Amino acid sequence: MEAAAAKFIAVGLAMLGAIGPGIGIGLLGMGAMQGIARNPDAAGDIQTNMILAIAFTEAVAIYCLVVALLLIFVA
């Protein structure tokens, strides 16, 4: 019984790593909107770079999810 509780605590701690990417994606979106507002002609380049940066940032959150799933189903 105690091992199961410890496993769920570990899963919760593993998912805390998703807080950083969430904040990072928000900051990326904010910066992109400010950049487009200041220079609308560069919207295409800004949007392309923003989407690429969001994909890399989201990869960190996916790693946290994979670790959490491994802890639940394998450990």
**Is the pTM for the entire model greater than 0.85?**
no
* Pairwise CA distance, residues 15 & 64, whole Å: 6
Task: Give the helix/strand (H/E) hosting 69.
Answer: helix 43-73
pLDDT mean over 28-35: 96
pLDDT at residue 18 tops 80: yes
What's the pLDDT band for 70 if we cut at 50, 70, 90?
Answer: very high
Q: What is the DSSP letter of 74?
A: T
What's at 30, amino acid-wise? M
Look up the CATH number of domain 2-73: 1.20.20.10
Domain ranges, ordered by start, for the chain: 2-73
Q: Give, rounded to a whole angstrom, the gap between the first and last alpha carbons of the chain.
A: 14
* Pairwise CA distance, residues 45 & 31, whole Å: 13
pLDDT at residue 58 tops 80: yes
